[in-house]
Structure 1
Amino acid sequence: MKVLLLFPPSWHPSQPYLSLPSLTAFLRQNGVSDVIQRDLNIELLDILLTEKTCREFYQKILDKLKYLDRPGSPCRDIPGEQEKRQVLIHAVETIPAFAKKVEPAKNTLRSEGFYDLKRYMESVSIINEALGMLSALYYPSSMTALNNDMRYSVYSSREIFQALDDEEENIFLNLYQDYILASILEFSPKVLGISVTSTSQIIPGLTLAKLIKDRDKGIHITIGGSVFTKLIENIKNVHGLFSIVDSFIVFEGEHALLELIGQLDGKRDFRKVPNLIYRDSNGVRVNEPFFAEDLNRLPTPDFDGLPLKLYYAPASILPVQTSRGCYYRKCAFCNLHLDHRNFRLRRPELLLEDIHVLSQKYHTPYFFFTDESVPVNQLREISQGILKNQWEIRWMGGVRFENALSRDVLEKMYESGCRKLVFGLESSNQRILDLMKKGINVDVVKRILGDCLKTGISFHLYVIIGFPTETEKEALETLDFVLNKDYLNSPGFSCLPSLYGMEKDSPITQNPAAHGLRSIMAPSGEDLGLGYFYEVEQGMSPEEAERMYHYVISRLSEKLCPFPYNYSLSDGLLYITHRRHALPF
């Protein structure tokens, strides 16, 4: 049976995402040999960012301008159309110069020129500005290498369905038709899986699903990923989704997808497919209890078929997982733990085998552990295993500020190739940390960051501005903490603030009053909403928090260049390693 797995735009173009390689490996291990995986995000970027495509868009934009300026056109007197016209004129004036620059910019990022910071920044700027100019054809929609923006809300099924047929503003509708659709239909898969792990992929993913379903209703289209895992109850009430998608796989997908393929090739009894949401004559069904994979029975991810040479980096940085779920699961603001039913570890010897096999097969020493947070014992075992085998590996991953993360552990990690750690600091104020239920102590934070500086491990800090009851003074305290000159002067330091948003199913929503909230409200019209509005009893209001957030961003930008470390964590790993010494791959 032919199976096609797709990863739609938009996502960071530096490295592949782990979902498709994990599924592909499992299917191939279990006898599904005719499976192809495609990263449409990087494929489309590579198509768009050529001189040929830029010139094609240039002509289309000229034609649109002629249409808007035709005699008797009512567009001349409509304010919104005049704004569109100005954007199109600017694109026509700009595209010819960018058309000659886009391919050299891509080549710079894929070569040693990547490590020249000036050339790196110029190339990133050229790519994003060029994409902005090309997307003028679909104004007010726009796109960059990392994201896409449309006036349609991804939290409203009504607006999503409007976007799917909007040839004027849906950037991806014509892109798929012109460059992608024919190859999918020619392959003629029996099962087509689409991974949607970010809200920026919702409209691109569903647009693709509708185009395929309109042309071949015999293809079973299933969508998986963390976004729709958080929307199980919502999916049950939005029946229109099942006119373009046959099923959704929520939580983990290896066994679910394998069983779905088996049922489509046999009795078609979808009740036997774990984690599946589908519609039958009795309505929408959700197959429970939900199934969680045994990580120690899963194969090493398989990246074969993905165009590793197309990613915007001179070497492959491969994602791997040491665990699934979050071992802590208590942070009041977080719903990431909902992506997996429970916390499970992969045995260190299997993880070390993953690293060795992938390193040899894909000729790279670079790895990114994508866990929510890697437990300290796992870090210790990984480090000892790499050192014992004398492998030249360079890696980074997310961790918590645990007291067990001692100087000795950090030194072993550095020796094994750890060059950067990603921490969720959120706040440097102990009251706020306690209210968030972070379970960390500011003194421990300072000790660990100090030890990182001494051992040579760089670090990234995530910060949240505007957690309920936080005052301006407390937010500024966190700002002062991250502007520590020792941190700012350390190679590879990065910090990314985010504005607090109340996420669906986060613990704070279960007891708002305990967190100083007067009320929480679901936004009207958002039947696929992932968050809430809220009112506070004390501290900064949401509006005040937003102003503080912009102030924090501006202060950080004065002290900290976003490139490459804030722009891309994986790019930063390459930069850190290159600054110290190159590896032999």
Structure 2
Amino acid sequence: MASRPRTLLVNPPLWNVYAPHLAVPLLTAALRDHGWPVTAFDLGAVHLRWMLTAETVAGLCERYDRADRLGLDPAAVDEARLLLPSVCDGVEAAWAVVHDPAGLHDHDAFARVARTLGNALVCHSAAFDGFHCDLRSNRQHYSERSSASVLAATRDRDRNPYRWAFETLLPPRLADPGLGMVGVSVSADTQLIPAMTVAALVREHRPDLRIVMGGNYITRIAGRWRGRHPFFDLVDDFVLYEGEDAIVALCENLFEGGTRPVPGRSSLTPDGRLDFAPARDVDLATLLAPDFDDYDLDAYLAPGPVLPVLASRSCAWNCAFCSIPFASNRYRHRDATAVVDEMQHLARRYGSTSFMFVDEIMTQRTLREVGAELVRRDAGLHWYGETRFSAGLDDDLAATLHRSGCRRLDLGLESYNQRVLDLMRKGTRIEHIEPGVEALLRAGVPVHLFCITGFPGETVEEARRTAAFVERTLRRSTEEFGLPYSTSVNGPFILDLLSPVGEHPEQFGITVLHPGPDEDLALSVDYIAASGLTGSEAAVLAAEADALPDTGRTAPLQHRGLIGESEEYAFLRCVLDTGVPPGRPTAEPAVFTPAPGDLLRLADGVTWRVSADTRTVGLYAAGADSILRLPSRWTGLLSELDKGVGPGRGDDGRWDDDVLDVLCTLWTFGFLADPQRHATPLPAGDMPGLRVRATPGWRRSVDPDTGRARLTSLVTGREVALNVHAFLLWLDHAGGGQPAAADRDAVADMIRVELLQAYLGDDPVTTEAASGRETGREDA
């Protein structure tokens, strides 16, 4: 009897780089249970590991050398060349540290890891036109909202970074002569271009193979097709909704002459018409444990692994803003005994005691039954999941959850206003929210609060009430309950066309602004609300509510190239009781007072290079993780400082004002060594001779209604929020000068957070010196 063809199941980037996704392991288990050969390939994890190697990062230089032909941003390439040496030296060690649970205890070491990995992604971003690489979504030249754009991306290795990478990573997986089918799972829009790129390469290398694509996102976009879609040029079959039964039936039909329907299959008839088979629910009582045997579970960007499990499918509610019920059939739950059996099986097989429930919602019934079963068995496992607020979230349930190993619970707060919750059709009573939070915190279970700002009809006051409640809750978690691990996220309302709001906008007082035909895949759209916040106002308020204090964005892996603290890290920190990383150290406001004739030098680890393209000199300080760009006329000064030789002084024995400005900038951002302690505390009281100037490289965003400003440093990535008075004061010192005594406290605060640089001189900076000598402020 001939052997059955093998199926290659692919999970493409970019979904979750911190833990494996559940879809492919579930399909793998189903095929193996029915005797079908299969190989599971987490291309997302393999791609990330490949990106974060010294060899791959060093190879980006070949693309930098062709920057003009590839249309790369000269400033980005210049920055990447500055970062490359430190990245290549440290990226392998950084990978090792991030996989060691002990690394979560050493916050300083982890910050260095974040810096190195973040800089590696900055280097990748610079290598492609229009590419910005982080760990949540990779924005690139091509748009996943357009079928034509997606198909164009699959052919372009110069501007599609996935095409460039997959040409190396994918062909070895296609060499097996026994291969008969390639299946690709697409759960999010961020995976669409990589997934279709996989399909294109399979077509080129193995045109004999059958290509099938499924997953939640495919269900969402392919469910709207009413005729042949251009994606059928690359894909033979699309499977909508659940795939465990469908993948087995498809193999039987394709390779053994089977005739039973393939649930959810969307394919073309011989005459080119679209044919769709009705979907069918998978019986969760027969669901097999996911099979991770083919995965390298050390390939994810967190110690662990934190393994995904599920206790239910779909959602028991129908919130107005959410499209989950559309894309996942009806709600069903599994028996708690089967769920805990599976968790213990996975713990034994893969050596992990950490789990995340990927249920869209864990109902109270699920929480109680699974929690009680884990307690009864004394399983010794830790887990987290997502639920909602309701009356039954009390002390008894919270205590059971903690005893069962729950060390984080995500909760859909959305709003702390009953009127808005009712508009959302949330089914939540506001009087249940605070008691539920307190019960969990008393039991030792940190919370994560999801918030939405700007649901149609919400007012500014209501949005700020939610933000105030969240701020108070997080503060109480740390100060009152000793749990520093609680977190929150606040995002603006996004109109999903498949949600109740999108399907019936007139019921919510909004007018949908449908995208043009060039965005035929768009599921989120703009709108006009008859009342309440506009979309732009909601975005501002959400950013304001989600802002970190002026000590900067310091969560692990929060960097130019990386996103902030992931839920896996927050969970593991609580499990291991590591504490949370401290914020950026708050320094006393200080001034720079170099004495004429003193020898000055660049700090250790500073590299710099002159860019002919940008006519600037760029510097990188590894210790401070700062990048600064100055006009190239300062190259001579940097050459002297590189040798440890003090710059020249004027005929009167004083530093020139413009030289002092540059030296102060270098010191402020960590580029200048200070062995002789030229940095001194800001004098108390009167400040004769104090000169201040706005430090270079701050990008500002101002709310025209309130005058509040958010400043982002292009040098360090730090963010600072300013009220109207502070913002005007900062603007007033853009050209330099002496601050008024009445402004001392505000000036001291701005010096502390590096908005102003300061040094002591013999007399105030003159208008001529301030305006006629360029310090590189606009170029930084």
Structure 2 match to 1:574: 572
Structure 2 match to 1:38: 41
Partner SS, residue 91 of structure 1: helix
Structure 1 match to 2:326: 338
Partner Cα separation in structure 2 for residue 474 and residue 411 of structure 1? 32
Structure 2 match to 1:232: 222
Structure number with the higher helix fraction is 1
**Contact 1:564–1:572 (CA under 8 A) maintained in structure 2:** no
Partner Cα separation in structure 2 for residue 467 and residue 474 of structure 1? 10
Amino acid at match of 1:500: F
Residue 563 of structure 1 deviates from its aligned partner by 3.9
1:95 aligned to which of 77, 81, 84: 84
Q: How does 1:148-547 map to 2 (within 5 A)?
A: 148-186=138-176, 189-237=179-227, 239-267=229-257, 272-328=261-317, 330-484=318-472, 485-487=475-477, 489=479, 490-547=483-540
Partner Cα separation in structure 1 for residue 197 and residue 352 of structure 2? 35
Amino acid at match of 1:299: L
**Contact 1:523–1:529 (CA under 8 A) maintained in structure 2:** no
Structure 1 residues 238 and 495: CA distance shift in structure 2, 3 A: farther
Partner Cα separation in structure 2 for residue 292 and residue 221 of structure 1? 23
Amino acid at match of 1:150: Q
Partner Cα separation in structure 1 for residue 194 and residue 212 of structure 2? 15
Residue 370 of structure 1 deviates from its aligned partner by 0.6
Residue 144 of structure 1 deviates from its aligned partner by 2.4
Residue 236 of structure 1 deviates from its aligned partner by 4.0
Partner Cα separation in structure 1 for residue 466 and residue 23 of structure 2? 35
Structure 1 residues 491 and 187: CA distance shift in structure 2, 3 A: farther
Amino acid at match of 1:327: A
Structure 2 match to 1:128: 118
| CA distances 1:131-185 after superposition (whole Å, capped 9, x unpaired) | 2212322122132233311132211101112211122210011211123223323
Partner Cα separation in structure 2 for residue 523 and residue 376 of structure 1? 43
Structure 1 match to 2:26: 22
**Contact 2:60–2:123 (CA under 8 A) maintained in structure 1:** no
Partner Cα separation in structure 2 for residue 101 and residue 561 of structure 1? 20
Residue 519 of structure 1 deviates from its aligned partner by 4.4
Structure 1 match to 2:744: none
Partner SS, residue 298 of structure 2: helix
| CA distances 1:352-374 after superposition (whole Å, capped 9, x unpaired) | 11011011111111111110111
Amino acid at match of 2:52: L
| CA distances 1:511-547 after superposition (whole Å, capped 9, x unpaired) | 3233222445345422111122211111111122222
Note if 1:2 corresponds to 2:10.
no
| CA distances 1:18-62 after superposition (whole Å, capped 9, x unpaired) | 001111111111111x2110111111111221122222222x134
| CA distances 1:471-506 after superposition (whole Å, capped 9, x unpaired) | 111111111010002035432111111111110210
Structure 1 residues 160 and 91: CA distance shift in structure 2, 3 A: same
Instruction: Give the count of matched residue pairs.
Output: 564
Partner Cα separation in structure 2 for residue 264 and residue 556 of structure 1? 58
| CA distances 1:95-128 after superposition (whole Å, capped 9, x unpaired) | 1221111111111111122332232233233212
Structure 1 residues 488 and 475: CA distance shift in structure 2, 3 A: farther
Partner Cα separation in structure 2 for residue 221 and residue 114 of structure 1? 41
**Contact 2:118–2:557 (CA under 8 A) maintained in structure 1:** no
**Contact 1:488–1:559 (CA under 8 A) maintained in structure 2:** no
Note if 1:106 corresponds to 2:95.
yes
Partner Cα separation in structure 1 for residue 552 and residue 515 of structure 2? 38
| CA distances 1:240-278 after superposition (whole Å, capped 9, x unpaired) | 101111111110000100011111112375x72111111
Partner Cα separation in structure 1 for residue 531 and residue 131 of structure 2? 38
User: Which range is displaced more, 456-465 or 224-233?
Assistant: 224-233
Q: Which of the pair has more CA radius of gyration?
A: 2
**Contact 2:237–2:267 (CA under 8 A) maintained in structure 1:** yes
Structure 1 residues 388 and 508: CA distance shift in structure 2, 3 A: same
Residue 17 of structure 1 deviates from its aligned partner by 0.5
| CA distances 1:403-423 after superposition (whole Å, capped 9, x unpaired) | 122210110111111111001
Structure 1 residues 318 and 159: CA distance shift in structure 2, 3 A: same
Partner Cα separation in structure 1 for residue 340 and residue 401 of structure 2? 14
Partner SS, residue 101 of structure 1: helix
Structure 1 residues 444 and 242: CA distance shift in structure 2, 3 A: same
**Contact 1:523–1:532 (CA under 8 A) maintained in structure 2:** no
Partner Cα separation in structure 2 for residue 559 and residue 428 of structure 1? 27
User: Which range is displaced more, 129-138 or 35-44?
Assistant: 129-138
TM-score with structure 2 setting the length? 0.70
Structure 1 residues 445 and 562: CA distance shift in structure 2, 3 A: farther
Partner Cα separation in structure 1 for residue 300 and residue 223 of structure 2? 36
Amino acid at match of 2:186: V
Partner Cα separation in structure 2 for residue 155 and residue 348 of structure 1? 40
**Contact 2:183–2:212 (CA under 8 A) maintained in structure 1:** yes
2:51 aligned to which of 35, 48, 53: 48
Query: Which structure has more RCO (C-alpha within 8 Å, separation ≥ 6)?
Result: 1
Structure 1 residues 326 and 27: CA distance shift in structure 2, 3 A: same
Partner Cα separation in structure 2 for residue 561 and residue 373 of structure 1? 30
Partner Cα separation in structure 2 for residue 103 and residue 284 of structure 1? 51
- Specify every segment of 5 or more residues in structure 1 that has no aligned partner in the other structure, as ranges: 69-74
2:65 aligned to which of 63, 66, 72: 63
**Contact 1:366–1:395 (CA under 8 A) maintained in structure 2:** yes
- Specify every segment of 5 or more residues in structure 2 that has no aligned partner in the other structure, as ranges: 559-563, 580-780
Amino acid at match of 1:379: L
Amino acid at match of 2:333: L
Structure 1 residues 57 and 380: CA distance shift in structure 2, 3 A: same
Partner Cα separation in structure 2 for residue 26 and residue 144 of structure 1? 33
Structure 1 residues 3 and 509: CA distance shift in structure 2, 3 A: same
Partner SS, residue 272 of structure 1: coil
**Contact 1:114–1:313 (CA under 8 A) maintained in structure 2:** no
**Contact 2:492–2:535 (CA under 8 A) maintained in structure 1:** no
Structure 1 match to 2:669: none
Residue 238 of structure 1 deviates from its aligned partner by 5.5
Partner Cα separation in structure 2 for residue 556 and residue 402 of structure 1? 31
Structure 1 residues 138 and 187: CA distance shift in structure 2, 3 A: farther
Partner Cα separation in structure 1 for residue 34 and residue 515 of structure 2? 43
Amino acid at match of 2:125: S
Partner Cα separation in structure 2 for residue 297 and residue 220 of structure 1? 28
Structure 1 residues 478 and 562: CA distance shift in structure 2, 3 A: farther
Residue 187 of structure 1 deviates from its aligned partner by 5.9
Q: How does 1:136-151 map to 2 (within 5 A)?
A: 136-151=126-141
Partner Cα separation in structure 2 for residue 98 and residue 187 of structure 1? 39
Partner Cα separation in structure 1 for residue 575 and residue 529 of structure 2? 45
Partner Cα separation in structure 1 for residue 512 and residue 302 of structure 2? 46
